[in-house]
């Protein structure tokens, strides 16, 4: 499904809608998009929708931030990750087993992380504040 966002608030609101549409149990959300596309903004909305606690900041230096809540949110930033070995080092498999929501920035860098069951969110800049956001693998009402 394709959405058009005109502001950061729009992108956050879409993240919130996606959170509401997620099936029970664990979910993996693979995000794609260049620097400044709005991936972190989208995760902020997800967090709100999941009732996650704490303010969402980019986990660029920590690789993963954990937000407890009604449903746990694990927010990954794979920008600095080299490949499959490092995926193992950060405990990716353990996170998958925790039945929370794993939201992944820079999924481009870790194709090995995904088995095809993930939800894919691709954010493309159309202009300064415009974004085309494609969500695949999830029905949103």
77/69 Cα distance (integer angstroms): 20
Restricting to residues 100-129, which ones interact with ligand ATP according to CB under 6 A? Answer: 105, 129
Per CB under 5 A, 44 contacts Mg ion? no
State both tokens at 131.
Answer: 């974004």
Minimum gap (Å) between residue 63 Cβ and ligand ATP: 12
Restricting to residues 56-85, which ones interact with Mg ion according to CB under 5 A? Answer: 58
Restricting to residues 96-135, which ones interact with Mg ion according to CB under 5 A? Answer: 105
Residue identified by tokens 């894919």 is 120
Member of 3, 5, 29, 92 binding ligand ATP (CB under 6 A):
5
For 48, phi then psi, to 5°, come to: -60, -45
Restricting to residues 45-64, which ones interact with ligand ATP according to CB under 6 A? Answer: 58
DSSP assigned state of 59 = -
Q: Which is nearer to Mg ion, 76 or 95 (CB)?
A: 76
Q: Are 104 and 31 in contact (CB under 8 A)?
A: yes
Per CB under 6 A, 36 contacts ligand ATP? yes
Member of 38, 45, 49, 59 binding ligand ATP (CB under 6 A):
38
Q: How far from 91 is each of 25, 88, 102, CA to CA, in Å?
A: 19, 5, 12
Member of 14, 16, 18, 40 binding Mg ion (CB under 5 A):
40
Nearest Cα neighbor of 10 from 126, 137, 138 is 126
Residue whose Cβ sits closest to ligand ATP: 38
């Amino acid at each position: 499904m394709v959405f058009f966002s005109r502001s950061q608030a729009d992108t956050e609101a879409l993240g919130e809608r996606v959170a509401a549409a997620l099936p029970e149990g664990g979910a993996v959300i693979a995000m794609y998009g260049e620097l400044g596309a709005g991936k972190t903004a989208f995760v902020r909305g997800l967090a709100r929708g999941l009732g996650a606690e704490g303010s969402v900041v980019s986990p660029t230096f920590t690789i993963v931030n954990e937000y407890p809540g009604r449903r746990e949110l694990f927010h990954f930033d794979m920008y600095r990750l080299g490949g499959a070995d490092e995926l193992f080092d950060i405990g990716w498999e353990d996170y998958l087993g925790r039945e929370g929501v794993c939201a992944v920035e820079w999924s481009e860098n870790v194709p090995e992380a995904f088995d095809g069951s993930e939800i894919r969110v691709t954010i493309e800049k159309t202009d300064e504040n415009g974004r085309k956001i494609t969500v695949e693998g999830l029905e949103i009402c």
